[in-house]
Structure formats: structure tokens, C-alpha cells
């Protein structure tokens, strides 16, 4: 199940513009559901789909939905807090320990 698109805060637009100036970028993001994926290479721009979803486009043709970016070149992205909550979810339960 695909998560509904969430518009990102303007400071991420600024971060993406700065990172786009680099020759090589590494982005970790949520693919389908909570599957972690990675994209590498030169960022060529941001593309808006007909459904009004923004995607980061790489020179090799990869497209990453911007609201699902966890980190870009080691800097937290729009989905970082969701990733952090996902990673700590097991700590919310006792795991069979009473």
C-alpha cells in the first residue's frame, strides 16, 4: 500500500537545491511501504507528476518521491522522523519480557 503524498516543508526545497549542485549524491528513502531503498548519482532536478507528487530525478533515470526521502547525503530528509519511529517501534513493546 502506497502512502498518500505529503507536501514537504520549504526548507527541504532549499536543501534539495543545494544538494543538486553536487556531482554525486546518495539518497536513502522508503520505497513501497517501509522497504528501504537507495539512489545514487547526479540529481538533475525535481519533477512534478500529473498527480501533483514531487520526485527527485537522477541522471540515471531513477525517480524518488521527495516526501519519502529519509536522508540525502547524510542529512535528514522529510521521512527521517518516520524512519526513526519505525526503527524504535520494537522498543514500544515488552517483547515478551514482563
| Helix/strand/coil for 7 | coil
Higher confidence at residue 48 or residue 98? 48
The CATH number of residue 31's host domain is 2.30.30
Confidence band, pLDDT 50/70/90 cuts, at residue 44: very high
Per the domain annotation, does 4 fall within a domain?
no
- In total, how many domains does the chain have? 1
Q: Could you give the CA distance from residue 73 to residue 47 in angstroms, rounded to a whole number?
A: 20
**pLDDT value at residue 8:** 93
Per the domain annotation, does 77 fall within a domain?
yes
Give the contacts of 66 (CB within 8 A, at least 6 positions apart): 8, 12, 16, 46, 54, 55, 56, 77, 78
Per the domain annotation, does 3 fall within a domain?
no
What are the pLDDT digits (tens) for 71-89? 999 999 999 999 988 665 5
- Residue that has been written with the C-alpha cell 513501497 in this structure: 32
Per the domain annotation, does 49 fall within a domain?
yes
Per the domain annotation, does 94 fall within a domain?
no
**pLDDT value at residue 90:** 58
The mean of the pLDDT values for the chain is 89
What are the pLDDT digits (tens) for 49-68? 999 999 999 999 999 999 99
Give me the domain span that covers residue 72.
10-89
Say whether pLDDT at 6 is over 70.
yes
Starting from the edge strand earliest in sequence, which strands make up the sheet with 36-41, in order? 36-41, 25-30, 69-72, 75-76
- Residue that has been written with the C-alpha cell 554525486 in this structure: 24
Per the domain annotation, does 78 fall within a domain?
yes
| Helix/strand/coil for 5 | coil
Amino acid at each position: 500500500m502506497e502512502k498518500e503524498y505529503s507536501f514537504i516543508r520549504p526548507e527541504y526545497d532549499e536543501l534539495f537545491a543545494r544538494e543538486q549542485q553536487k556531482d554525486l549524491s546518495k539518497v536513502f528513502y522508503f520505497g513501497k511501504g517501509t522497504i528501504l531503498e537507495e539512489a545514487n548519482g547526479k540529481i538533475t532536478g525535481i519533477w512534478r507528476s500529473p498527480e501533483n507528487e514531487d520526485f527527485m530525478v537522477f541522471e540515471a533515470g531513477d525517480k524518488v518521491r521527495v516526501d519519502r526521502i529519509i536522508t540525502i547525503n547524510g542529512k535528514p530528509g522529510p521521512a527521517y522522523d518516520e524512519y526513526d519511529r519505525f526503527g524504535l517501534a520494537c522498543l514500544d513493546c515488552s517483547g515478551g519480557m514482563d
